[in-house]
Amino acid sequence: MLRRAGPSLRHFLLQRNISAGHSSCSREAKMSRPVQARRLEGIDKNIWVEFVKLATTYSKVNLGQGFPDFPAPEFLREALMRALSGGNHMLHQYTRAFGHPPLVKVLAQFFEKLLGRELDPMTNVMVTVGAYQALFCCFQALVDEGDEVIIIEPFFDCYEPMVKMAGGTPVFVPLRPNPPKDGKLMSSADWQLDPAELASKFSERTKAIVLNSPNNPLGKVFSRGELGLIAELCVKHDVLCISDEVYEWLVYDGKQHIRIASLQGMWERTVIIGSAGKTFSATGWKVGWVVGPDRLLQHLRTVHQNSVYHCATIAQEAVAQGFQRELTLYGKPESYFVQLPKELQQKRDWLVQSLDGVGMKPIIPEGTYFLVADISPFKSDVPDVPNSDEPYDSRFAKWMVKNKGLAAIPLSAFYSEAHKNSYTNFIRFCFAKEEATLKAASDILQKWKQEKTSS
């Protein structure tokens, strides 16, 4: 019946459009009122869109965007296969909006261990579409018009536009490098906050501080002393802490990742953000979470239920099984959370050596799978353009991918517009890559170096 009604309905709509004066021409008529919401002003550019496109077009070796090119662990892939083809067909349907019950339950158990406090899976944990959506929920739920949010530079670039979209004002405080005097390579630990400068950014307008430890892009793992200072200021000024800990397991040289929520006075004011993408080397799954007190998470749930509402059930089920495994192997050598940082530390060391070998001085990261390197010795190949609005490192990274086929991200992409020219001699590499990829990158750099010395 419906099929027979089709043509006549089409005919009716056509007639109606014609009689209402809709021609193909008037359909293209421009609206005269502004279409863009004011909150999008100035935040339309996105570094990843531009650099991912460049990498896709030109790169032979991509050490740009942060994702592993090695497979996710077998136990996780198997868990996904089981979820997909096992007996429970309900895994193909909606699940609980704020997190698939098995996942929030195991996350609560896991974080109880890490934080040393009891957690209610239903109120202290929420699952999000990657850490990205967790961040979005935080800013939308907790930041009001006129609120200030402190962001430590360099920072994962989305913090700034997300604060602005919520009507807040980002206030930046830099990590400042103190190069070692003995000629040794710099470490991410040599980038530090100036305590007086940090304190000067807190005021009655400050609603929150964003902390990212281990930090993308530097790989800095904040020490207990540094976290203590931030915590003290948060408590003193009654400020919230949005703690982006997506690289919590990727810490090297026996360093310890300290959770700021475990410091005195911080649990009640902190939202911890995590990502299965980073934790289980499966960035495409886009499963993330927040852990925190109900008094904060209840507002994040409001944003979640009115935006995304729900994350893919099947991916949540597989991540839950991944965490179950890790819970039973906690701290043991077979644990993925023990094995992955071990493997990544070797890759880091390999890339450090190879960059140092060609004179692109690396800043040794204490955590994450990123490494920032100094491009100064290669500057003669990409001459500076005085007074250009584009920072030098950005032009360098574009030139490098187009001419050498090696993709990396300029450090200036991790600074605010006002401070994007602070450090323009650095680019960021991702070393979560197969040996062959890292070797290919090293070959490109060595060949380049040879060409330079022979010319």
Contacts to ligand PMP by CB under 6 A: 66, 130-132, 156, 212, 216, 244, 246, 275, 277, 283, 286, 288
Residue with smaller CB distance to ligand PMP, 171 or 276? 276
Shortest distance (Å) from residue 230 CB to ligand PMP = 17
Q: What is the rounded (10 degree) CA torsion for 228, 230, 235, 239?
A: -160
Residue with smaller CB distance to ligand PMP, 152 or 351? 152
Residue with smaller CB distance to ligand PMP, 59 or 216? 216
Element containing residue 26 per DSSP (H, E) = helix 24-27
Residue with smaller CB distance to ligand PMP, 54 or 445? 54
CB 427 within 8 A of CB 409: yes
- Which residues have CB under 8 Å from 361's CB, separation 6+? 185, 186, 355, 373, 374, 376, 377
CB 280 within 8 A of CB 78: no
Shortest distance (Å) from residue 275 CB to ligand PMP = 3
Tell me the backbone φ, ψ of residue 80, rounded to 5 degrees: -65, -40
3-state secondary structure of 424: coil
Shortest distance (Å) from residue 134 CB to ligand PMP = 8
d(CA 299, CA 3): 47
Which residue, among 383, 374, 393, 405, has the nearest Cα to 54 in the 3D structure?
405
Residue with smaller CB distance to ligand PMP, 156 or 429? 156
Residue with smaller CB distance to ligand PMP, 216 or 394? 216
Shortest distance (Å) from residue 337 CB to ligand PMP = 16
Shortest distance (Å) from residue 149 CB to ligand PMP = 15
Shortest distance (Å) from residue 56 CB to ligand PMP = 17
∠ CA 288-292-294, rounded to 5°: 115
Shortest distance (Å) from residue 36 CB to ligand PMP = 25
Q: Helix (H) and strand (E) counts for the chain?
A: 15, 15
DSSP code per residue over 206-273: EEEEEEESSPTTT-----HHHHHHHHHHHHHHT-EEEEE-TTTT-B-TT--PPPGGGSTTTGGGEEEE
Residue with smaller CB distance to ligand PMP, 289 or 396? 289
By Cβ distance, which residue is nearest to ligand PMP? 130
* Neighbour-count burial for 84-115, b at 16+ CB within 10 Å, e otherwise: eeeeeeebeeebeebbbebbbbbbbebbeebb
Residue with smaller CB distance to ligand PMP, 127 or 198? 127
Residue with smaller CB distance to ligand PMP, 397 or 445? 397
Shortest distance (Å) from residue 217 CB to ligand PMP = 8
| Cα dihedral sign, 285-102-272-323 | negative
Shortest distance (Å) from residue 150 CB to ligand PMP = 16
What Cα–Cα distance (Å) separates residue 151 from each residue in 16, 43, 119, 294?
Answer: 55, 16, 28, 24
Shortest distance (Å) from residue 371 CB to ligand PMP = 14
Residue with smaller CB distance to ligand PMP, 358 or 411? 411
CA 360, distance to chain mean position in Å, is: 25
- According to DSSP, residue 453 is labeled H
Shortest distance (Å) from residue 82 CB to ligand PMP = 23
Residue with smaller CB distance to ligand PMP, 108 or 276? 276
Shortest distance (Å) from residue 40 CB to ligand PMP = 20
Element containing residue 374 per DSSP (H, E) = strand 370-374
Residue with smaller CB distance to ligand PMP, 348 or 404? 348
Residue with tokens 């009001």: 144
d(CA 171, CA 148): 6
Amino acid, single-letter form, for residue 345: Q
HSE value, Cβ hemisphere, 13 Å, CA-based, for 232: 10
